[in-house]
A and B are shown apart, each in its own frame.
Chain A
């Protein structure tokens, strides 16, 4: 790809000094982070609480100055070019509102349109588009403080997208939302990307967001990139596998040595057995064929790896030294 990346961070580092009683400790919130997001991509930026996700976003948007390293967002230096950058980026912080809480929602859109210098025609077209696709029509005249959480989050996302930014950064956009609201928001974001080619950077605890929205994940741990690639690759890296659960007709000795599997356990004296599918290209059919020569299979189910479990496992395998005292 010859095009300039939308986000390019090299060795990005941010320390915080924390006072603990009389001692001062340095916390490396972000430590030598390399991150590249190309135009049009959708990237899931995941990690535990305190892994450095929000600090990274604040550096990408010019709120925080990096301690060292460099970052370019939309080709601009975020702190120096903050105001120009603000016209090209839309951000939703799940916990802080950019709407005017005591005004009707429609007013907030009008103010934001003025702030971003949208022309009258442009403002109307974009507002109509967002209102229709996010189904905001029912509460446009309601003061923001009276909106439900689901309504407010949809309104927040619409507000961040009003000026048609090239890059949209969503920090925990689905936190606290019910299943239906989550679903709606995700569908909208998929639509928005298809229609406008918007680049998406998403931090989330919700693996459903990542699975449905993101082409690629970046897992951050202790301020550095612990994994970068597809979600499936993340599962493989963490040595998480699909597990075949077999219900057998008779108590059977442990099914050891079935090609492409490892035996994970037996219950009820061997009536139910669990085989992990470990080999590349191992299929349920081939395993079933191999097993049926040794026992009669009554029923089977396949358990997919739980992604949060995958992330936890990957963390456990990466024991970092604790932050150093100064």
Chain B
């Protein structure tokens, strides 16, 4: 019985997502334009990082320009994968205004799952490709030997990075139940967090480290895994071995995200007023 219910639910989600994918393919020209512009933006951002670090002969925060490519690649790949699958969540205020959230309530599925599976942005695939290319380049320029340890760290980094950014989108969605101009306010965190993720955490001041290492675990999405990959020592509060705690910090991010979502839903229904 439980199996058939689950199978039925999975079928429903699959059909919704399938229909979203088909509808995006229907607008070919716009879709291609999106793909091209995403690639361009990705390359410009990568160039920006390269230009800054190429000017510093001794690197910054203990990382040279080759290492920074790795940081950028992991952050970009994780973010764009999360953005593709759950990026529409931080548009919740639009959903609320359009009445879509009320419609979610009238369907026999969990609200968050409905929101997550209500859309998928295939045009983000271009950005994923940029991130992946940067990662391949990063592995090459750092002369990484793909032994078992390196592969484990890479897989752990990409999975945890994606999940952590996804958690941030869900957290943003929860916050938008409270905020009137929600998207603008939460974008500051989502894109600020993404930017923080692509920088070496060692250059930040202590308060920034506290926020982006332990509260919003952005340092765990790219900087700390890079330290592991390159066997670098790290510094002060953020030693190199901390990267092994990525899965734990991913769980922490999701705990915060789900709590935030729950508070948001309560607020929407008026439990808290």
Contact = CB atoms under 8 A, between A and B. Distances in A.
Given A63-B269, A110-B15, A115 B106 contact: no
Contact of B109 (A58, A61, A115): A115
Interface residues of B, number: 26
Interface string B90-112: 00000000111011011111100
B220 to A, nearest CB: 35
A81 to B, nearest CB: 10
Contacts of A107: 19
Given A17-B273, A110-B15, A114-B11, A63 B108 contact: no
Contact of A96 (B23, B26, B99): B99
List 9 tightest A-B contacts by C-beta distance, closest first.
A96-B99, A117-B8, A86-B108, A114-B12, A83-B108, A115-B12, A63-B105, A65-B269, A98-B103
A11 B223 CA distance: 57
A116 to B, nearest CB: 7
7 contacts: A63-B102, A83-B109, A86-B107, A87-B108, A91-B106, A96-B102, A111-B19
Contact of B12 (A87, A103, A111): A111
B271 interface: yes
Nearest to A87: B108
A89 interface: yes
Interface string A79-117: 100111011010101011110101100010011001111
B181 to A, nearest CB: 15
- Secondary structure type dominating chain B contacts: helix
A116 B108 contact: yes
Contacts of A62: 105
B106 A89 contact: yes
Contacts, number: 71
Interface of A: 14, 16-17, 58, 61-65, 67, 79, 82-84, 86-87, 89, 91, 93, 95-98, 100, 102-103, 107, 110-111, 114-117
Interface in B221-273: 269-271, 273
A169 to B, nearest CB: 9
B16 interface: yes
B23 A82 contact: no
B209 to A, nearest CB: 38
A309 to B, nearest CB: 32
B270 A14 contact: yes
B33 interface: no
Contacts of A65: 269-271
A110 B14 CA distance: 12
Contacts of B146: none
Contacts of A97: 99, 103
A114 B105 contact: no
Interface centre among B11, B15, B271 (most CB of A within 10 A): B15
Given A16-B270, A111-B19, A117-B12, 9 more contacts: A65-B271, A83-B110, A86-B107, A89-B106, A91-B106, A93-B99, A96-B103, A97-B99, A107-B19
